[in-house]
Homo-oligomer: A and B are copies of this chain.
Amino acid sequence: MGETKRCLKLTVAYDGTAYHGWAVQPAVHGPTIQGTMQEALGRLTGEALTLVAASRTDAGVHARGQVVVLTTASRIPLERWPQAANGVLPDDIAVLRAEEAAPGFDPRREAAYKTYTYTIYNSTTPDVFHHRYSYQVYRPLAAEPMARAAGYFVGTHDFRAFAAAGGAAKTTVRTVYRCRVKQEGPWIKIEVTANGFLYHMVRIIAGTLLEVGLGRLAPEDVPYILRSGCRALAGPTAPPRGLCLERVVFRPTSLDS
| A residues in contact (CB < 8 Å) with B | 13-15, 62, 82-83, 86, 91-94, 96, 124-129, 131, 133
Q: Say how far A113's CB is from chain B's closest CB, in angstroms.
A: 23
- B82→A125 contact, CB < 8 A: yes
Choose one: B126, B128, B133; the contact of A129 (CB below 8 Å).
B133
- A127→B83 contact, CB < 8 A: no
Choose one: B62, B96, B125, B129; the contact of A15 (CB below 8 Å).
B129
* Alpha-carbon distance between A132 and B203 when the two chains are bound, in angstroms: 26
Q: Say how far A129's CB is from chain B's closest CB, in angstroms.
A: 6
Choose one: B13, B14, B124; the contact of A83 (CB below 8 Å).
B124
Which 9 interchain pairs have the tightest Cβ spacing? A94-B126, A15-B128, A91-B131, A13-B128, A94-B128, A92-B128, A86-B126, A14-B128, A96-B125
Interface SS of A by simple majority: loop
Extra contacts besides A62-B129, A91-B128, A94-B125 (6): CB < 8 Å: A13-B127, A14-B128, A15-B128, A15-B129, A91-B126, A93-B128
Q: Say how far A101's CB is from chain B's closest CB, in angstroms.
A: 20
- Which residues from B are CB-within-8-Å of A128? 13-15, 62, 91-94
* Alpha-carbon distance between A8 and B133 when the two chains are bound, in angstroms: 31
Name the CB-closest residue of B to A92.
Answer: B128
* Alpha-carbon distance between A15 and B127 when the two chains are bound, in angstroms: 9
Q: Say how far A120's CB is from chain B's closest CB, in angstroms.
A: 16
- Which residues from B are CB-within-8-Å of A92? 128, 131
* Alpha-carbon distance between A91 and B14 when the two chains are bound, in angstroms: 20
- Which residues from B are CB-within-8-Å of A14? 128
In this complex, the member of A124, A127, A128, A131 whose beta carbon has the largest number of chain B beta carbons within 10 angstroms is A128
- Which residues from B are CB-within-8-Å of A133? 129
Q: Say how far A160's CB is from chain B's closest CB, in angstroms.
A: 33
Q: Say how far A61's CB is from chain B's closest CB, in angstroms.
A: 13
* Alpha-carbon distance between A256 and B79 when the two chains are bound, in angstroms: 60
Q: Say how far A73's CB is from chain B's closest CB, in angstroms.
A: 25
- Which residues from B are CB-within-8-Å of A94? 125-128
Name the CB-closest residue of B to A63.
Answer: B128
Name the CB-closest residue of B to A96.
Answer: B125
* Alpha-carbon distance between A15 and B13 when the two chains are bound, in angstroms: 21
* Alpha-carbon distance between A62 and B128 when the two chains are bound, in angstroms: 10
* Alpha-carbon distance between A131 and B93 when the two chains are bound, in angstroms: 11
- Which residues from B are CB-within-8-Å of A127? 13, 94
